[in-house]
Structures are given as C-alpha cells and as structure tokens.
Amino acid sequence: MGIKSEETKNETNHALAKISRRKLLLGGAATAAVALVKSSFGEIQTAIPESLYIPADPTKVQGPPPFDLGTRSPFERPLKKTSDTSSRTPLQDLYGTITPADLHYERHHGGVPTIDPEKYELLIHGMVEKPMIFTLADLKRFPAFSRICFLECSGNFRTGKEEMMPQEIAGLTSQSEWTGVMLSTLFREVGIKSKASWFLAEGSDAAVMTRSIPLQKGLQDGMIVYAQNGEAIRPQQGYPARLFLPGWEGNTSVKWIRRIEVSDQPYMTREETSKYTEGIKGGKIRQFSFDMDARSIITYPAYPVILQQGWVEIRGIAWTGRGKIVKVEVSTDAGKTWNSAKLQGPVMDKAHTYFRYLWNWRGDETEILSRAIDETGYIQPTMKQLMEARGRDMGGYHLNPITAWRIKRDGTVLFRPEGKA
C-alpha cells in the first residue's frame, strides 16, 4: 500500500466516519463506530464508539485506521469526581505515578478562564531594576526545564463514611511532568533589587487569585510552566501558563498567571489571611504553611474492591513536599507491626512515589495501613496524633493522616473514617 497524503488520509477518515453504525455492525468491516468531535481547530475524528462491536476473532476483521486523536479503551472509564469547584483524581484507577492530564484534579475559585495565547502577557514589576512584560513566545524562548512533581491541594482530606474510595479521601493530588522556565531565569532578566524578599503572584481568572510567596522559594525551584505531560498545559491547569512551586500547597501555584510584583513584605491577601490558615493550640492561627507534609495512601486494595484470599500486592503512593520519600511502611495487622514496602525507583524529589508490598491474606478480618517517612525524618501521623498536636480547631487544611482500610471476612474493603467529616 502506498503512502497516502495527509489529505486523502483525512478523506478516508471522514468517509469512515460517515458509515452508519448499522452498516458497521452488519458488515463488520470496521470494529467501531467513529465519532466526530468539534474542537476549536475544526472537526476531528476519534474512535469513541457509539456502540461497541466486539468481533469474535479480532484477527479476522480489519480494525479502524488511525485517528487524529487517541482514545482510551472503551472498557476503561476512569472518571474524576466533580463538585462545583473541584474535581478529584481517581487514584484507585491509576498505575505508577503519572496522572493523565485529563484526570488531573482541578480546583477553581472562579471557574476556568479562556485565554488567547496570542494575547497572553506576564508582567514582572515592583522591586526590580527593569519591569518587563513577557509574552508566551518570550517565555518559550528561555531555556526550558522539565520536572516530574506532584501538585496537591492543602484541603486534600475527606472523611465521613466507610464507603469512600481513595479518590474521595485524597483525590486532590496529581502528578505531571511540568515544563517551563525557571523563575530564577526571569528574575535575573528583570534584576531583583537587593532589599526584596517576597513577591505577589496574581492570576487572570474571575477570582483574581493572589498569593504572596517568599522570594527565596521562587529563586530555589519556582517555575512558570506552560506544558504538562508533553503537551500544552490544559485550560483547567492554567493555560497558557501558571506558577508552579514544587512541594508547596496547591493554592500557591497560581494558574493563568498574569502578574508578579516583587516586594519586601507579604501582601496579606484574602487567600492567606481569611483562608489557607490553620488553627493551632492556644487559640492561635498558623499562617503561611507552605510545605505539604509527607503522606501515603494504599490505592489497592481499597473500597470498593472485593478481595480474594491468597497473595495480594498492596499498592499505593507516598509523597512529601519536603524532598524525597525514604521509606513507606505497611501494616497488615491494624498497626501492631510495620514492614517496609518496596519503593519504585527512581525516587524523585517532591514526587509521588509508587510503593508495593506483597501480602498473603488468609481470610481473617483485619486492617491494612501505610505510613510515609521522608528524608527529614518526618513520619506520617495518625489522625489522633494530628489532633493532639494541633488542637481542636485545626480546621480542614494540611491533614495527612494515616489511612486505614478494613478488610472484612467476605473480602469487602472499607475505609475507616476518622476525624471531622
């Protein structure tokens, strides 16, 4: 078969798309109906089947040709759990540690703005030698840098009932390979004045999200990212560019960033005074709790899995905003004894780390738990320890308790809810 020009290939796809579903089912010439999807670039063809035709022998029928856009197997339907203002990554459906971009959790305070990349501008001003405006093309001309990191919302904990999946308990964390320009590069370009110590990051969404960030963090490993897992970041993640601060509470990674103002003090914005603070003991409030503490969660077996007796590979993810995970311990006897899980290498800084632990379940009722230990020596606490350390008014941010799964005799796996729902 000769090489087809792009044009004829598209024509073929188009023709295929027009074959009626009935014909496909009867004729068996192709295995799936084809959907036309409207995008801002016009019509594109995808192999999303309208109704699934499964040949008895796939070696005996010609399959559909390539399409402009790939799709998941129709047998796989991982979905985000959506509320009005957030959506959660289906941790229990994922393997390894990279979150497919369309399953990245979302948290929006004013919805997702549509920004024309041609008109996008980032202003850096304040205590700088030379205030500058960078277009997206300008940002892309600087040396690029890629890094695999998690991003986690500091409100990433839910509890309340036994029938909760990992996604519902801890689905506000996701991991991507982020690509962009180091903030230090941009700061060198504008020339930071020696007295400067903070900067304000401002988004161009309806919430005009603003956070004050210590200059030191920006210089250390802050980035302006424009790509995620090899493609332009998605609108939901801040298209065309966002701030990304590895290991810090998600709220500080301001999306759709349009302005950075360098100063010698924090700005005390709404998000860092009335919000994103935590009660601690003695009626005090803790402010600027930037680092995400070490945490882990077993994602298999977890609700709603029904477990079979015999060998089970317990799997999950562990992460810390303070560097690397050095150890994950798993208990299969409700926390009486702990054993080291295998960490999937290479273990990366400020990244979800996959862990596995082989266990022979003999059908007894028990609880399985995991706890993460990071390179600072920090050990993931129990909910009881958290409450003791922070006091009664600790609020809903920065909660990273050990998650326990109860295994019943019939193999049912249930979440053991703790803390305020």
Q: What are phi and psi of 21, to 5 degrees?
A: -60, -40
| Most distant CA atoms of the chain, gap in Å | 78
Residue 105 binding result from Mo ion, ligand MTE, none, given CB thresholds of 5 to 8 Å by partner type: ligand MTE
Residue 259 binding result from ligand MTE, Mo ion, none, given CB thresholds of 5 to 8 Å by partner type: none
Residue 236 binding result from ligand MTE, Mo ion, none, given CB thresholds of 5 to 8 Å by partner type: ligand MTE
Is the CB of 255 or the CB of 324 nearer to ligand MTE?
A: 255
Q: Are strands 81-82 and 339-340 parallel, antiparallel or unpaired?
A: unpaired
Query: Taking CB under 6 A as the rule, does residue 151 contact ligand MTE?
Result: yes
Query: Taking CB under 6 A as the rule, does residue 107 contact ligand MTE?
Result: yes
How many amino acids of this chain bind Mo ion (CB under 5 A)?
4
| Distance of alpha carbon 183 from alpha carbon 265, whole angstroms | 19
Q: Are strands 173-182 and 210-214 parallel, antiparallel or unpaired?
A: unpaired
DSSP 23-46: HHHHH-SSSB--EEEEETTEEEEE
Between the alpha carbon of residue 227 and those of residues 102, 109, 148, 190, the distances in Å are 13, 22, 12, 23
Query: Taking CB under 6 A as the rule, does residue 400 contact ligand MTE?
Result: no
Q: Are strands 121-126 and 257-263 parallel, antiparallel or unpaired?
A: parallel
Q: By CB under 5 A, name the one of 87, 167, 179, 251 that touches Mo ion.
A: 251
Q: Which stretch binds Mo ion (CB under 5 A): 131-139, 145-153, 205-213, 356-364?
A: 145-153
Query: Taking CB under 6 A as the rule, does residue 236 contact ligand MTE?
Result: yes
Residue with nearest beta carbon to ligand MTE: 203
Query: Taking CB under 6 A as the rule, does residue 253 contact ligand MTE?
Result: yes
* Amino acid (1-letter code) at residue 95: Y
Q: Which stretch binds ligand MTE (CB under 6 A): 200-208, 312-320, 374-382, 403-411?
A: 200-208
Q: By CB under 6 A, name the one of 254, 307, 368, 394 that touches ligand MTE.
A: 254
Query: Taking CB under 5 A as the rule, does residue 222 contact Mo ion?
Result: no
Q: By CB under 6 A, name the one of 16, 103, 105, 394 that touches ligand MTE.
A: 105
Residue 253 binding result from Mo ion, ligand MTE, none, given CB thresholds of 5 to 8 Å by partner type: ligand MTE
How many amino acids of this chain bind ligand MTE (CB under 6 A)?
20
Q: Which helix (H) or strand (E) holds 365?
A: none
Running DSSP on this structure, what letter comes out for residue 73?
Answer: -
Residues 331-360 that bind ligand MTE (CB under 6 A): none
Q: By CB under 6 A, name the one of 166, 186, 205, 402 that touches ligand MTE.
A: 205
Cβ 205 vs Cβ 127: under 8 Å: no
Cβ 192 vs Cβ 132: under 8 Å: no
Give the list of residues 6+ apart from residue 352 with CB closer than 8 angstroms, or none. 97, 150, 173, 175, 317, 318, 319
- Classify the C-alpha dihedral 145-154-403-382 as positive or negative: positive
- Strand stretches in 139-189, DSSP E: 145-152, 173-182
Binding mask 255-284 for ligand MTE (x = CB under 6 A): xx----------------------------
Query: Taking CB under 5 A as the rule, does residue 89 contact Mo ion?
Result: no
Cβ 409 vs Cβ 364: under 8 Å: yes
Q: Give the interface with ligand MTE as residue ranges (CB under 6 A).
A: 104-109, 151, 153, 203, 205, 207, 209, 236-237, 250-251, 253-256
Q: Give the interface with Mo ion as residue ranges (CB under 5 A).
A: 107, 153, 250-251
